[in-house]
Structure 1
Amino acid sequence: MKRIGILSLRGGAGATTVTANLAQAFVHMQKNVLAVDAVPANLLRLHLGLPLSSVAGWAGHMCANTDWQSAGFESPHGVTFLPFGQLSSQNARQFEANRSHYLAEIIGALGRVDLGDNQDHWQLIHLASSDLMRLEDDALASLFDVVLVVLTPDAASYSVLQDVADIQATINRAAVTAKVRYVLNQYQPETEISRDFMLVMKNELGADLSPVLLHRDIALMDSVANLTTVQSFAPTSQAAKDYQSLAFWCVSQLSALQLVS
């Protein structure tokens, strides 16, 4: 089993979109995929065909100490999915106060599920931006094979990248050090500013930045409006090709990390 954590460096960078479409790309590679939304906004469901009327999720079951597996859902295109769900105000406060514990509990529980076959299983965990700091906890970091940090080639992401220098210094002493990789999203090669920031980030992040650039594509907005992934809505689009390339890169990264370890 392989497990990938995915989070945005800042709000709006696109970790939700990356999680959904990367999961779909792995399905196209004949992998058994589970996507877990660990963000209270509960938006991953909009990409995976979950009815808008559905408010159930694994977080509510965790707070109530009931069976979280009943919250499972399978998208029309083969992605098994655990939505976060909508919490009452009381449960939301309870969850946030114990977020690290609940994350470790659900991820640990998923690792103990008897898969009962020889298929290639992948788990994608959609994390909140604030979870980057939580990954300094070696016990939590050790639950992931790789952590993808999504950023955009613009001044806002670059500014946050500089602001988290202290966090990165902390992470550099933690188990997650070799696991963090960055993914550039919403790249617009037709604009000089996007090209410039891409080059600056490539220079600063080096080999930790994925060579796969996720282009800004109107097909992505159209696909989420239709409650599906871009591979299903526009399979010949630039975005669909980008995500398939990112999936292949993830496979190569995990193979390299396993050789190092």
Structure 2
Amino acid sequence: MPLICFASPKGGVGKTTLTANLADALQRLGHRVLALDLDPQNALRLHFGVPLSDRAGFVAGLAQGGGDWRAALRRAPSGLLLLPHGPTDLRGALDLAIALDREPDLLGRPVREMLSDPDLVLLADLPPGPSQPLALLAPMATMVVGVLQAEAISAALVPEIESGRFLGSGTMAALLAGRLRVVLNGVDLSSRLSRASAEAVARHLGYRMLGAISREEAVAESLACQRLVLDHAPASRAASDLREIARLISLALPPPLATAPPAVPAALPALGSQA
């Protein structure tokens, strides 16, 4: 199973929204996709219509030794698989950080189990900034997608992206930098500043620039409706951008099998079925 990690040097750039919608777009291209939420905001599930009352989660329980990750899986109507983070608080987040520092395999082992299915594509939504999940998963990744917002500060973050420093340090950063690709989110073509920021980032990053997403009300509306952009606003410019980026990612993946054996139990809870 290929692993694609979604990361960002800073929060508030639309990383989770991008992860959810590219997972959906890749599923529509014929790939079998598992979306894994490692961000403690636990927001990835909202894009797929998971009820707020559904407290299932995989990561939140790792500090207590975790359990079978398959028990927390949810299945979207499209067939896409979702593994929510689960609810947590400050104490829980600190306990998890300590547990992963002491025993990295609490996360590494189940992720390797997920990667053992060669036909599934695993998309991991990582916490913003440096984190233990980033340090653990980036070396396993086929591709690391760095997400930036089309704003002035993005130009200042380009050296961090180019060097791979936000992925680690020293030789590890240099090795992982070759797997890094960047998506610029929220590009407002009517704004001179947004356009200038986007052009500056694209000019500096060159081939590492995977694509850009137009800033549109439809993207925010989709989340408010707990729907995906390709369902809510399929004719929007943002939807077109998502399809193109998904196509480029797909080119780096093994072609989907025409028929594939089930990788998980058939009796998974469907999204929207929980009270």
Say whether the 8 Å CA contact 1:75–1:81 is kept in structure 2: yes
Match of 1:27 in 2: 27
Say whether the 8 Å CA contact 2:130–2:167 is kept in structure 1: no
Distance 1:93 1:30, change over 3 A: same
Match of 1:80 in 2: 81
Distance 1:172 1:253 in 2: 26
Distance 1:140 1:48 in 2: 24
Structure 1 residue runs without a partner (length 5+): 256-261
Distance 2:42 2:132 in 1: 21
The one-character-per-residue Cα deviations of 1:210-245 (angstroms, maximum 9, x if unpaired) are 1x2210111111111111211111122211111111
Alignment of 1:71-220 (within 5 A): 71-87=72-88, 89-99=90-100, 101=104, 102-112=106-116, 115=117, 120-131=119-130, 140-162=137-159, 167=165, 171=169, 173-174=171-172, 175-210=175-210, 212-220=211-219
Match of 1:258 in 2: none
Q: By how many angstroms is 1:189 displaced?
A: 1.2
Match of 1:227 in 2: 226
Say whether the 8 Å CA contact 1:215–1:242 is kept in structure 2: yes
Distance 1:173 1:17 in 2: 31
Match of 1:241 in 2: 240
The one-character-per-residue Cα deviations of 1:163-221 (angstroms, maximum 9, x if unpaired) are 676825955722312101111110111111111111111121111111x2210111111
TM-score by length of 1: 0.85
RMSD value, Cα: 2.5
SS at 1:148's partner residue? strand
Distance 2:89 2:148 in 1: 31
SS at 2:42's partner residue? coil
Aligned length: 247
Q: By how many angstroms is 1:25 displaced?
A: 0.2
SS at 2:171's partner residue? coil
Q: By how many angstroms is 1:159 displaced?
A: 2.8
Distance 2:245 2:95 in 1: 36
Say whether the 8 Å CA contact 2:5–2:137 is kept in structure 1: no
Distance 1:254 1:91 in 2: 35
TM-score by length of 2: 0.81
